[in-house]
């Protein structure tokens, strides 16, 4: 039997024992050993997160799995091969237990010395672990809590906290030790429907508390972390070089994000524009940037291509890749790229060509060993699905159109890469961002090659920063390219049909979309017509679930008092129609509106909006809002009173009131007085700033 051209024989999902014998199918997962490790490990992580198991059942499951494997190995050879399923179940049980164990250990709340387990400590000693960042009303820094004063003595503590200092005051610097007495509070979510889960996101970073520090004392000494300090110094050097030579704040912010992933100076509206046009991956350090760095390092180390110098070349390439990855923040997407290019470089040294998809799955497994919570990271999910889409679908898409014109071929290759990446990222993008950029191909047509040239230009600028004339010239060139890039993206964004917005799908619909993609891929790429039945079934189930969600949206009734800091917003959702009353600054498409209110409107599938009066009936109850203007209470008893900033705390106001909601605009001093009066009168009181948004569904 002859081997198929290109070694295709060994990569098909089946094999032939001998000519004339029966074809024996081999499952596709047999060719992907990393997948067989990754799936049960992820199952263990997910099980532990949602079940929150204590340590002992996880250890017990691991021990039982090991004993089961040992018993299998002790069987006679004839029986051992007949009990393959036993071995497989035992191995999967061990991997599930391993995933649960890693998740348990990564959760800071399981640490006996966690600050959240201490009962009202009166003082804290912490190490400032990040450079302070100036925000709109404060200065923010992250700190690692080392000790706390508890039960009359100092105790060891673990965990991290977000510390906020008064704007204009001298905030502590990275590495300093400070002592403060301001109470640490758990990080809470806003409670707004559909809002970003800020508390969980911070927990996955190991941060669980926050405090506004009004006074602190600096302790002697300074923490030394050689690698972190070196990377921080290098990052500051790069930032100084870019800020010195590139004119314009907007251009500087984009250059910082594009080169090293530093986003503190990035214009938020510009970021939203990039997201709406489908090119936000350009300013998120990922595979494209690592590919450029890898190609540059391979070119620079070409003189070390001799066999005796290959190890030196490999060390330089790997050092450069991982140094850049850590400089760019060491996020999951950049580490995924670093791992894959490292495997590529090592394979080149050994003269072996690896399996791209298996390498991708292995990289995912290694990253989850480092941090199991990256499984919920959007960047992690999009990075791996994008590369998986390119590996699986780029060649079939590219081969659909052949041209001998080099320019057209170059353009088509770029389009094929974008289309292939979009295949597997689209369901996740719809689930997380509720929008789809219809002109992503057009936007990427110029944005991807131009950003690649720009990255090389920024690297050259930093390398020549010692030569002022050359650095200044390169800075102007970079500024011109950034203006060209931004202008192109903004033009695409202005096209009326550039964005399909307001899409809302749940986790089940997302899974069904992936089922549809898998079935269609199997039917078309593997020429298995029967798979079209599964595609039809996935489509039918998706439309059924989606139809049910629209049916429920048309029947919903909900009253919401939003948690928007220092702002008032009351809203009623009747079916898909909104009735809203809020202060003048919360206008549609403003940054406040898009962050706090738009997710709830997308979740409710809202299509119409109307003003809401200051007093109204909801579910047969009288609701009134005071303190937003010159409102007067109705003559009838009020079932629910919503209090805004301008309302004065007076006992007479509460006459005939059954429940009170203090919105996010009420000052802390007035909120305390309102709550005191409610407690004295036996009236239920909900403080939005403390307890999150008030949501009433009759």
- The series of mean pLDDT values per 10 residues for the chain, 698 residues long, is 38 42 53 86 96 95 91 76 79 95 96 88 91 88 92 90 90 92 93 93 95 92 83 88 92 91 87 90 80 84 80 87 83 81 76 75 92 93 90 91 86 89 94 93 90 91 92 94 94 92 93 96 88 95 96 95 94 94 81 90 91 92 90 86 91 89 94 94 94 94
Q: Is the dihedral of CA 313, 318, 324, 327 positive or negative?
A: negative
Given the DSSP bridges, would you call strands 138-150 and 123-128 parallel, antiparallel or unpaired?
antiparallel
- Distance set, CA 29 to CA 178, 364, 384, 511, 639 (Å): 53, 16, 18, 19, 61
Please, where are the H alpha helices in 84-128? 84-106
Write out the DSSP string of 211-236: EEES-EEEEEEE---HHHHHHHHHHH
Name the token pair of 216: 């602190």
d(CA 33, CA 214): 55
Alpha-carbon span 155 to 177, nearest angstrom: 16
Q: In this structure, what DSSP letter does residue 141 have?
A: E
Bridge partners (DSSP) of residue 641 are 624, 660
Q: What phi and psi values does residue 329 have, to the nearest 5 degrees? A: 105, -15
Kindly state the DSSP code that residue 399 receives in the 8-state scheme.
Answer: T
Q: Is 641 helix (H, G, I), strand (E, B) or coil?
A: strand
Q: What is the pLDDT of residue 19?
A: 43
H/E element, 678: helix 668-681
For residue 347, report the phi and psi dihedrals to the nearest 5 degrees: -60, -35
**Closest alpha carbon to 625 in 610, 647, 603:** 647
Supply 593's token pair: 């509106």
pLDDT value at residue 40: 96
d(CA 126, CA 128): 6
- Stated as kind and residue range, the H or E segment containing 128 is strand 123-128
Bridge partners for 222 per DSSP: 176
Separation of CA 394 from chain center: 25
| Residue 247 φ then ψ, to 5° | -75, 145
Query: Which pairs from 506-509 meet CB under 8 Å and 24+ separation?
Result: 506/431, 506/545, 506/549, 507/431, 508/545, 509/431, 509/542, 509/545, 509/546, 509/549
pLDDT of res. 26 = 53
Q: Classify residue 210 by its DSSP letter.
A: E
Q: Using the Cα atoms of residue 368, residue 371, residue 374 and residue 380 in order, give the sign of their dihedral.
A: negative
CB atoms within 10 A of CB 248: 12
Measured CA distances, 526 to 378, 531, 668 (Å): 30, 10, 65
Q: Strands 577-582 and 608-611: what pairing? A: parallel
Residue 354: the pLDDT is 63
Encoded tokens for 627? 């303190």
- Give dist(CA 499, CA 487) in Å, integer: 17
Nearest to 235 by CA among 473, 464, 479, 462: 462
Q: 115-223: which CATH number, 3.30.1050.10, 2.30.140.10, 2.40.50.730, 3.40.50.20?
A: 2.40.50.730
The whole model's pTM is what? 0.87
Is residue 392 classed as helix, strand or coil in its secondary structure? helix
How far apart CA 500 and CA 514 sit, in angstroms, is 20
CB atoms within 10 A of CB 203: 17
Q: Per the structure block, which two tokens stand in for 693?
A: 């948004």
95: helix, coil or strand? helix
State the Cα–Cα distance between residues 371 and 384, nearest whole angstrom. Answer: 15
């Amino acid at each position: 039997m002859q081997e198929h051209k290109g070694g295709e024989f060994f990569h098909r999902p089946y094999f032939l024992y001998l000519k004339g014998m029966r074809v024996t199918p081999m499952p596709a997962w047999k060719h992907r050993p990393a997948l067989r490790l990754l799936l049960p490990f992820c199952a263990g992580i997910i099980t532990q997160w949602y079940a929150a198991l204590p340590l002992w059942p996880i250890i017990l499951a691991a021990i039982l799995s090991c004993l089961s494997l040992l018993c299998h190995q002790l069987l006679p050879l004839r029986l051992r091969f007949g009990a393959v399923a036993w071995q497989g179940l035992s191995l999967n049980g061990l991997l599930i237990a391993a995933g649960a164990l890693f998740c348990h250990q990564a959760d800071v709340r399981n640490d006996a010395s966690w600050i959240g387990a201490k009962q009202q400590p009166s003082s804290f000693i912490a190490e400032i672990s990040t450079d302070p960042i100036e925000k709109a009303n404060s200065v923010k820094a992250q700190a690692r809590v080392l000790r706390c004063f508890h039960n009359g003595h100092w105790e060891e503590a673990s965990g991290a906290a977000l510390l906020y200092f008064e704007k204009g005051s001298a905030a502590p610097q990275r590495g300093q030790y400070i002592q403060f007495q301001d109470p640490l509070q758990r990080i809470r979510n806003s409670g707004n429907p559909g809002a970003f889960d800020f508390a969980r996101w911070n927990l996955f970073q190991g941060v669980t508390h926050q405090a506004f520090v009004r006074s602190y004392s600096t302790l002697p000494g300074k923490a030394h972390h050689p690698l972190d300090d070196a990377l921080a110094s290098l990052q500051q050097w790069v930032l100084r070089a870019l800020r010195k030579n590139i004119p314009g704040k907007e251009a500087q912010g984009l250059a910082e994000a594009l080169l090293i992933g530093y986003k503190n100076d990035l214009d938020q509206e510009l970021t939203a524009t990039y997201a709406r046009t489908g090119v936000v991956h350009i300013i998120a350090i990922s595979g494209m940037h690592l590919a450029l760095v890898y190609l540059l390092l391979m070119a620079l180390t070409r003189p070390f291509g001799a066999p005796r110098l290959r190890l030196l070349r490999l060390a330089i390439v790997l050092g450069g890749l991982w140094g850049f990855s850590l400089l760019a923040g060491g996020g999951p997407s950049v580490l995924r790229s670093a791992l894959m290019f490292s495997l590529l470089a090592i394979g080149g040294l050994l003269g072996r060509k690896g399996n791209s998809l298996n390498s991708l799955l292995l990289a995912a497994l290694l990253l989850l060993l480092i941090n199991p919570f990256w499984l919920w990271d959007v960047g992690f999910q999009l990075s791996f699905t994008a590369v998986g889409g390119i590996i699986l679908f780029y060649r079939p898409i590219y081969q659909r159109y052949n041209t001998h014109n080099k320019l057209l071929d170059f353009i088509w290759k770029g389009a094929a890469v974008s289309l292939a990446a979009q295949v597997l990222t689209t369901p996740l993008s719809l689930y997380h961002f509720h929008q789809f950029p219809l002109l992503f191909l057009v936007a990427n047509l110029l944005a991807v090659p131009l950003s690649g040239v720009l990255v090389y230009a920024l690297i050259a600028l930093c390398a020549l920063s010692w030569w002022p004339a050359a650095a200044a010239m390169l800075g102007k060139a970079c500024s011109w390219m950034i203006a060209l890039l931004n202008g192109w993206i903004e033009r695409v964004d202005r096209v009326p049909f550039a964005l399909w917005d307001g899409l809302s799908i749940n986790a089940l619909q997302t899974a069904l979309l992936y089922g549809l993609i898998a079935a269609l891929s199997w039917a078309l790429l593997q020429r298995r017509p029967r798979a079209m039945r599964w595609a039809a079934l996935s489509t039918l189930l998706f439309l059924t679930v989606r139809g049910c969600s629209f049916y429920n949206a048309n029947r919903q009734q909900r009253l919401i008092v939003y948690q928007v800091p220092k702002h008032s917003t009351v809203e009623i959702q009747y079916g898909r129609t909104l009735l809203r009353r809020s202060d003048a600054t919360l206008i549609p498409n403003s940054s406040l509106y898009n962050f706090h209110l738009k997710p709830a409107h997308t979740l409710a599938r809202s299509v119409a909006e109307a003003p809401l009066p200051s007093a109204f009936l909801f579910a047969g109850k009288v609701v009134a809002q005071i303190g937003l203007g010159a409102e007067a209470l109705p003559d009838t008893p009020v079932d629910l009173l919503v209090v805004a900033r301008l309302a004065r705390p007076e006992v007479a106001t509460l006459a005939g009131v059954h429940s009170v909601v203090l919105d996010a605009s009420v000052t802390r001093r007035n909120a305390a007085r309102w709550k005191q009066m409610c407690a004295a009168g036996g009236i239920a009181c909900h403080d939005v700033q403390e307890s999150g948004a008030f949501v009433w569904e009759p």
